[in-house]
Structure 1
Amino acid sequence: MSIKNVTTYLSEYFQIFVGIVLTSLGLKAFLLPNGFLDGGVTGIALLVRTQVDINMSYLLLVFSIPFLILGYFTVSKRIVIKSIISILGLALFIHLENFQTITNDKLLISIFGGLLVGSGIGIAIRNGSVLDGSEILGVYLNDKFGLSIGKIVLFFNIILFTITAFVVSVEVALYSILTYIIAAKVTDTVIEGFEDFIGVTIVSRKHKIIKKAILEELGVGLTIYKGSSGFGSNGKSEDFDIIHSIINRIDIKKMYRIVQNLDENAFIVEFDVNSVKGGVLRHYINKKKNKKLPII
């Protein structure tokens, strides 16, 4: 194994360790002492903990086992191994940690408990591990029945919080829903990053000057496809370039203005981008002002 691979592995496991620490801090310092719940398997363990006097770490391990077994048949073995190590680590930290309750304010408990748990889960997922088995259930049902993973997890948690309302109290259920929403949003942010990118496809007969204007004024990278247009089976056809680019959402209005000023009839398709790696995203291609690029 090369030094680069060893460094990558160590970096991944160190980040997972950080995720475990953050998650356990959110549970032990905020949620657990106040009887609040998060979603997923952690939420099930917290709910059972409110009814029986069993160590939270044991409950987390027991309720994670069925999902890990399911994961063995649905996701890669590497993810399962990492998840087993992560869940064992989380259970160990919960068992050994002795954090003092930081606040008794229920709103602060929901907000900061959700922030810490969401951050920890997000860091773990970003490094190929799972701290909560409900995501594995979502992957399995998605593969089996084609159901959305997000909807599966949401339905799972609706059942959990409904039971909480009856078993504990409606107030705890409502605060737990708030905790879950915050944790879910923070998890997504950690996984996808803080920058929000948009994919754009532009079809125009004036593609040459539009390409030049986008390069000069936005400074983003472009991918060019060859295309043709026409109408009907025997209609007029014309070859032209199709412009494709990924830009920051902040620049989307400016991009529209650039294109509309050059061609009011340009066809523009905008779509969400979940993950972006490589390419020219954050750096301007032409940093020198007033430097003109040739029309190509």
Structure 2
Amino acid sequence: MRGLAQYAMNGRRQAITAALLCGLIPLANMLTPAIVGLVGLRHGPREALMVAAWAALPLFGWAMAGDITPLILLVGVFVLATVLRQSSSWQPTMLVAILVGVGAELALRLRPEFLVLLTEQVEMFMASGNTEMPAVPPDMMQGVLINLFGVMHMFLAICLLMLARWWQALLFNPGGFQQEFHQFRLQPSVAVALMVLFVLASFGITALSGWTMYFVLPLFFAGVALVHGLIGIKKLSRLWLIAFYMLMLNPPLAQLLAVFALADSWYDFRGRIQKQS
């Protein structure tokens, strides 16, 4: 991974070559947005746009074949890298990532044939199970799939941007990403606003009733940063991180982590522990 990032940083031609070659290979094409993000973080949006224009060529081919995810992530990571470079803050970047999810939803709605195929595949999977599943109206099923599609792309765009930021730190600022991420904490007003929107959307009070997870993800990543920061301050074993990520496979615990992130925005656990030590 480091070799790929280092090669891409040798010049525009090398970055374009790396992005194009990754874009041609299934699964590896998910690294193309990260390469563009790295270029954007290091050299700015203009240079990243030059690389993205070439990188998009194979991704357009995948989109025509039915896989629109790499192309959506290319656009999303480019936007997020621009925001992070200009703001030097993960908070506005996380908030803009919500728009990436919304954009992914719109892209899926513009491909109704793909949505129908996806719905049929899910219904076949549910029907093949051993247990009887309650009948779900097609409109409701499509609504859930569209929302999950958007949330998945928001999550992946943030993860790929983090990969690009880690590459940048690895090559030019060793340890910089770890320090930056360990300190990431949402402002109290932003954290409360996200939680209020989540509660309102959960009860269908607002027009954003299907967007609950969009408001949770920034809090979730702030919670992940909190755990990483606390483990770093206490200098605990990496086994604690492994155990933590295994626990995060349980959705209720992931939501509980968002609550801890909300509390941390007011209490600043890391700052208080550092003062006591």
TM-score of the pair, normalised by structure 2: 0.30
Higher fraction of strand: 1
Choose between structure 1 and 2 for higher RCO, CA contacts under 8 A separated by at least 6 residues: 1
Q: Which has the larger radius of gyration?
A: 1
Higher fraction of helix: 2
